[in-house]
Amino acid sequence: MTFSTTDSFQSDVGVSRWHYWLDAQARYLDLGSGVNQWLVRPGLGYEINDNLKAWVGYARFRTRNRAGNVADENRYWQQMDWTAGRWNGGKFTMRARLEQRSVSVGDDLGVVLRFMTKYVRPIGGDHNISLILGLEPFVDLRDTDWGGESGLGQNRSLIGVGWRLGDSVSVEAGYMNQYIWIDGGEDRINHLGVLSFKVRL
């Protein structure tokens, strides 16, 4: 489950090119098991032009596995968002994010490159409901003593529906397939339900 908000700051001359970002997430391995991972991720962005934004930010993670062991993570990130184009009444957006990850259960600094492509197409006459398709591979750029070897680490595929409830509130729900490559072991597939609340403050 995700709560997120992002918008431009206001200035004396109108809307600023500077933007804020905040999302908070709670993730569950199994229903009824309690929160297995939570994160808070603030960021600051600048609108270079109508189709391109640059971001920097920080994220704080805490993870509890099925055995009850807890790991904390500090993650710094840099990101570029751009509108790639339109097709069949919908819009393609792309996001490239570079993350530097420091985890309490290891000594090495992990560096991860994530590249997301998203397609959103309104369905229905009032355009308040949209089809959402997403694809996001993760590439580990360094070997670490806690995360395995460098290379393709995971891929996330998403299909969902978004509802715009008002000018400042929307909800998205869908299914995510998470494929994780395991070094020296059997790859893992997670089938995940996704629920997101987006608010403009």
Report the pLDDT value the prediction gives residue 74, as an integer from 0 to 100: 97
Residue 194 lies in a domain: yes
Where b means 16+ CB within 10 Å and e means fewer, 45-55 reads bebeeeeebeb
Q: Which residue has the tokens 């710094």?
A: 76
CATH number at residue 92: 2.40.160.40
Reported as a single tens digit per residue, the pLDDT across 55-66 is 999 999 999 877
- CA dihedral 24→48→137→71, nearest 10 degrees, is -30
Nearest to 26, CA basis, from 51, 4, 2, 54: 2
Residue 27 lies in a domain: no
Where b means 16+ CB within 10 Å and e means fewer, 148-157 reads bebeebbebe
**How many independent structural domains does the chain possess?**
1
Band (pLDDT 50/70/90 cuts) for residue 32 is: low
Reported as a single tens digit per residue, the pLDDT across 143-181 is 999 987 899 999 999 999 999 999 899 999 999 999 999
pLDDT over 90 at 73, yes or no: yes
Distance CA 55, CA 71 (A): 26
Reported as a single tens digit per residue, the pLDDT across 114-144 is 999 999 999 987 889 999 999 999 999 999 9
Length of the chain counted residue by residue: 201
Range of the domain at 152: 47-199
pLDDT over 80 at 48, yes or no: yes
